[in-house]
Amino acid sequence: MLAIDLESAKRQGLVGEQSDGYLGTVRQSPEAAELARSVNQQRRQSYQDLAKRNGVSVDSVATLAGRKLVDRAPAGEYVRNAAGQWQRK
């Protein structure tokens, strides 16, 4: 079991959303890396299921999800911008 949940990690600036649909680590720590790995594994499975059901590529599903996740991120959380830099929203 992870010691920190996703929402807490986002509020603390440990992890953030990326336009590729996956969670990234803003501040490197074993806890943040493990959380990102776990969440991304679950997301990858969901994206694969959606892609298969809709006859599209996994990358297209992930990219669409990424745009939505970045857009929906509340003020104060980190998102990775187009230049690949982390910024507070």
- pLDDT value of position 50: 98
Instruction: At 70, list the tokens.
Output: 């970045």
Residue 48, C-beta contacts closer than 8 angstroms, at least 6 positions apart: 58
Q: Is the pTM of the predicted complex or chain greater than 0.75?
A: yes
| Whether residue 82 has pLDDT greater than 90 | no
Region label for 76, one of left (φ > 0), alpha (ψ between -120 and 50) or beta (otherwise)? left
pLDDT per residue over 46-69, tens digit each? Answer: 999 999 999 999 999 999 999 999
pLDDT mean over 21-31: 95
| Whether residue 4 has pLDDT greater than 60 | yes
Confidence of residue 2 (pLDDT cuts 50, 70, 90): low
CA-atom Rg of the chain in angstroms: 13
